[in-house]
């Protein structure tokens, strides 16, 4: 159990993220008895008609939330309201009988968070001991805007106070990757270019944009998934693993891996960075002729000697044949046998699978490939959701699952040539693919002339 008293302030309590993820996650943490004994959630809302019951409808332990959730109405653009909020937090601490850690979770769009950060700082809410700022992606739209955002945050909060959330890093399989590599000699000794032929990180979805045209037109697949989630998974895969007693060094290890990662130097940018759009997207997004990508395939390479010559591919897309998020390592072929394959699956059905060759029963020497599988759901009940770990680690002050500002800038450094090339190319090279196409097949479709 976290021992300190804590107050979690959720800005945007009536939003989709708070209702679907944050409040249910807090409910589960309460059931697991890992929250501080003295803990209060303060939900910030602009409206006076917001009530608690609809907000907690999706939570398992609604009784706990009724007792530990307070609503606080305020205008997020009015400085005086931040002074009222400060007084309210002090009153809660008086009830606790002690000062509390204060966590400010900005569950709001990025354009809204900018003035909130400033007003929190000007109200002195940043200077309280153990004040923490939790920020959701996107972390800018390019390297210039990311730099500007980081400088804005740093003007009011110290780096150790800031927690940039990437919930993919909090998924069990992603967390297990370090232990899996470090704790199993079989894989620890073969996790290098001598044995591994290629690395492929995949995040495919069956659904399209589902009515989120305005959002997706301002984002696209590169910003939505590649810049944050998938490059972070690549860094976890490529980094040097720390010893078990030094897991707090994981962000530095990820950063080092990102600094050695870039587009494949053997390919022109538009070949190393392929993009596509599912047929009908532009009409669904109400922007005929849109060049926004719903599919991305990046060919990358690392300058780390460990990964010399190993092609690294990141693929993501919407309206594809399958729904899957996984890290796939293909081992080098040995004589007459096809390659072994290691897959770490983040969704659906989190787990690990190794494809191995075995003799087929019978009188001849026929052989076939089978999978050795470990599925979390087969061995553990109530697998924690990613946001449970995100919230708990922030409360405990553990930064290992959060992206540093340096990591954010490195991901944008990797993608800047892609953004520039796509902007200059316009429609050229944009593959139009039918819905339900496999991710492998998309890259074989020639772009329209």
* Collapsed DSSP state (helix, strand, coil) of residue 395: helix
Given 229, 379, 399, 427, the catalytic residue? 229
What is the helix, strand, coil percentage profile of the chain, to 5? 40, 25, 35
Determine the Cα–Cα distance for residues 414 and 424; give it in Å rounded to an integer: 17
Token pair, residue 317, equals 């897309």
Which is nearest to 373 in space by CA: 350, 356, 351, 347?
A: 351
The alpha carbons of the chain give a radius of gyration, in whole angstroms, of 23
Q: Do 396 and 39 contact (CB within 8 A), yes or no? A: no
Determine the Cα–Cα distance for residues 120 and 134; give it in Å rounded to an integer: 13
Dihedral of alpha carbons 175, 179, 182, 184, sign:
negative
Alpha helices in 32-98 (DSSP H): 52-55, 62-68, 79-96
CA distances from 347 to 22, 227, 298, 327 (A): 19, 19, 21, 11
Which is nearest to 278 in space by CA: 225, 314, 318?
A: 318
Is 68 catalytic? The answer is no
Report, as residue numbers or ranges, the catalytic residues.
229
């Amino acid at each position: 159990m976290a021992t300190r008293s804590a107050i979690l302030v959720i800005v945007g309590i009536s939003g989709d993220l708070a209702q679907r993820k944050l409040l249910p996650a807090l409910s589960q943490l309460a059931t697991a008895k890992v929250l501080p004994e003295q803990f209060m959630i303060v939900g910030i809302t602009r409206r006076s008609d917001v009530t608690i019951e609809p907000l907690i409808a999706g939570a398992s332990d609604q009784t706990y939330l009724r007792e530990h959730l307070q609503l606080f109405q305020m205008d997020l653009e009015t400085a005086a309201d931040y002074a009222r909020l400060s007084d309210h937090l002090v009153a809660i601490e008086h009830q606790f009988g002690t000062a509390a850690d204060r966590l400010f979770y900005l569950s709001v769009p990025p354009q809204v968070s900018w003035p909130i950060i400033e007003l929190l700082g000007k109200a002195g809410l940043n200077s309280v001991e153990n004040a923490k700022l939790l920020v959701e992606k996107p972390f800018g739209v390019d390297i210039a805007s990311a730099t500007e955002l980081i400088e804005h945050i740093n003007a009011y909060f110290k780096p150790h106070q800031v927690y940039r959330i990437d919930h993919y890093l909090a998924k069990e399989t992603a967390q297990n990757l370090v232990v899996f590599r470090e704790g199993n000699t079989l894989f620890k000794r073969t996790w290098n270019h001598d044995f591994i032929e290629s690395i492929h990180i995949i995040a495919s979805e069956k659904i399209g944009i589902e009515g989120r045209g305005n959002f997706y037109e301002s984002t696209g697949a590169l910003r939505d998934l590649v810049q944050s989630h998938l490059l972070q998974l690549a860094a976890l895969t490529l980094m040097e693993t720390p010893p078990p007693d030094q897991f707090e060094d994981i962000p530095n290890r990820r950063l080092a891996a990102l600094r050695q990662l870039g587009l494949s130097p053997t390919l022109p940018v538009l070949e190393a960075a392929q993009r596509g759009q599912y047929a009908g997207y532009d009409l669904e997004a109400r922007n005929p002729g849109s060049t926004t990508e719903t599919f991305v395939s990046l060919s990358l390479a690392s300058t780390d000697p460990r990964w010399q010559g190993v092609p690294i591919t990141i693929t993501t897309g919407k309206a594809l044949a399958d729904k899957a998020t996984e890290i796939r390592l293909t081992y080098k072929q040995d004589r007459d046998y096809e390659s072994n394959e290691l897959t770490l699956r983040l969704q659906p059905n989190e787990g690990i699978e190794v494809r191995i060759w075995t003799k087929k029963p019978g009188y001849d020497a026929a052989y076939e490939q089978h999978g050795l599988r470990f599925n979390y759901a087969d061995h553990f009940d109530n697998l924690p959701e990613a946001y449970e770990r995100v919230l708990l680690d922030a409360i405990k002050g553990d930064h290992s699952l959060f992206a540093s500002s340096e990591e954010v800038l490195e991901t944008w450094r990797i993608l800047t040539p892609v953004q520039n090339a796509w902007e200059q190319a316009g429609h050229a090279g944009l593959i139009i693919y039918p819905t339900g196409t496999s991710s492998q097949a998309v890259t074989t479709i020639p772009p329209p002339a």
